Structure 1
């Protein structure tokens, strides 16, 4: 009579079946990884992967460019600032000329770096025009950006952006930028991502990731994700358990047959003798 020896049987199976052991370890690794990921998702707040663009993405794209004063003018060209009535924190639609345009005037974590030829940053305003694809917002739509700085050591900037309403990231808006008492006339610049002439006055931007501007998953969405991960992990662990039991039983049967000199009953004798 044979006895079930699971430890010995599994040891024999591991030594004689490397492919099966490799498959078992892969399943076990995936199951443990899903359990760890579900634990991390349960204890941490995660960004929403369905939100392609938020304000951190927009500011990061904007900081990839240098703003240089146009070289074909004898003095910095000034443009009219955006009226304060357009910067009320909500997109304002002009129903007569450009019904699809919206304007936001917000305070964002965007700092300005300058080269040695640049002027003081105090009371400085810059205006630039982009294509939406340059900021990863769309295709060939026009996006007007105005930056206003009141202090040289200020890490936040007043950003006024005018673009088609459907391109503006409306989730988790930055705080509204206050109306400045002092009038600032922005300098017209051109945006580029290549080095310019050394004599040209250029400004580079540096953005700081703000967690409050990142769209996160809700508690309900995270709970659903955790349940799905745990469900898959339990299924994989169940498959691993079945493989272990099957391997131990198979080797127990083989050992019993070899010890008694018997063959399994389902093995038939050849019909024709050699």
Structure 2
């Protein structure tokens, strides 16, 4: 009987206080949403929102440029800026995530990335050539005016991946590296210096276009520990909101009950016969 009475009190409170009922439903919906997000976050791998730049961002910025061959330019200048990886550098590359890098140091990274190259000239051969260029960090949305040297090798229109070598200050490169390394090339590669531009020149010089498709493997994901902490925080907020909803329900049922008792007392006092003096 008591439970039925309290339920009736809540129903009466809802009918008499639409704003309060709306506020209660909003809190309840928010609590359920946090519970669903907590469950989803615990069971799915999610991108790390604290990482603003990853390899997808860098490659997407780089693919917006056209690489046009330079006339009367020496390839030696570009190749000297990007030295080949030694065995020590390759070892450091694998453990780059766990090492502390000085902001002024320059690192060389060699990755097998999902980039394809096409040529504006039908007679241009992409096999056994390498393209070398230099950009500033601001052009790649990585920093300010720091120089970034890039080299593309193992080019082929039939291949969806190429070998990309980057030489840049260590502090501006994404910290997480792609797991595929470039395979050593056994053929002689012709080095071609190119200039990066966003507009195709009017001259007849040969230009190369880059095409990039975002790869989830290049996105920085939350670790299992970070996912667990995020899911726990969402669940804690959901429990707090559900507690507030419960308090509101109890308060609504008790308030109506007290109000009814006060009303009955006033009514009884009015019905009492007046004492004649």
TM class by shorter chain equals 0.7 to 0.9
* Residue of structure 1 equivalent to 2:212: 207
**Larger CA deviation: 176-185 vs 150-159:** 176-185
Contact kept, 8 Å, 2:118 with 2:157, in 1: the verdict is no
Higher helix share: 2
Equivalent residue of 1:216, what SS? Answer: coil
Matches of 1:193 and 1:103 in 2, distance apart?
25
Partner residue in 2 for 1:11: 11
Q: Which secondary structure state, in structure 2, belongs to the residue aligned with residue 186 of structure 1?
A: strand
Q: Is the counterpart of residue 126 in structure 1 residue 122 in structure 2?
A: no
CA–CA distance in 2 between the matches of 1:85 and 1:259? 90
CA contact (8 A) 2:116 2:155 kept: no
Distance of 2:59 and 2:135 partners within structure 1: 13
Deviation at 1:260, TM superposition (A): 5.0
How far the C-alpha of 1:225 sits from its partner, in A, is 1.3
2:75 equivalent to 1:79: yes
Paired residue secondary structure (1:53): coil
Question: 1:235 corresponds to which residue?
Answer: 240
Scaled by the length of structure 2, what TM-score is found?
Answer: 0.79
The Cα offsets for residues 110-140 of structure 1, whole Å up to 9 and x where unpaired, read as 1123446572322232222111111122110
TM-score where L is the length of structure 1: 0.79
SS in 2 for 1:20: helix
1:146 deviates by 0.8
Q: Is the 8 A contact 1:9 1:247 kept in 2?
A: yes
Q: Deviation at 1:102?
A: 2.0
State the match for 1:55 in structure 2.
Answer: 55
Secondary structure class of the residue paired with 2:240: helix
Matched, 1:226 2:212: no
In angstroms, what is the RMSD of aligned CA positions?
2.8
Alpha-carbon distance, 1:184 to partner: 1.7
Q: Give the secondary-structure state (helix, strand or coil) at the position aligned to 2:190.
A: coil
In the alignment, the residues of structure 2 paired with residue 32 and residue 51 of structure 1 have an alpha-carbon distance, to the nearest angstrom, of 28
Structure 1 residues 172, 84: CA separation in 2 closer, same or farther (over 3 Å shift)? closer
- Alignment-derived partner of residue 185 in structure 1: 190
Q: Secondary structure at the match of 2:124?
A: coil
Q: CA deviation at 1:37?
A: 0.7
Q: 1:29 corresponds to which residue?
A: 29
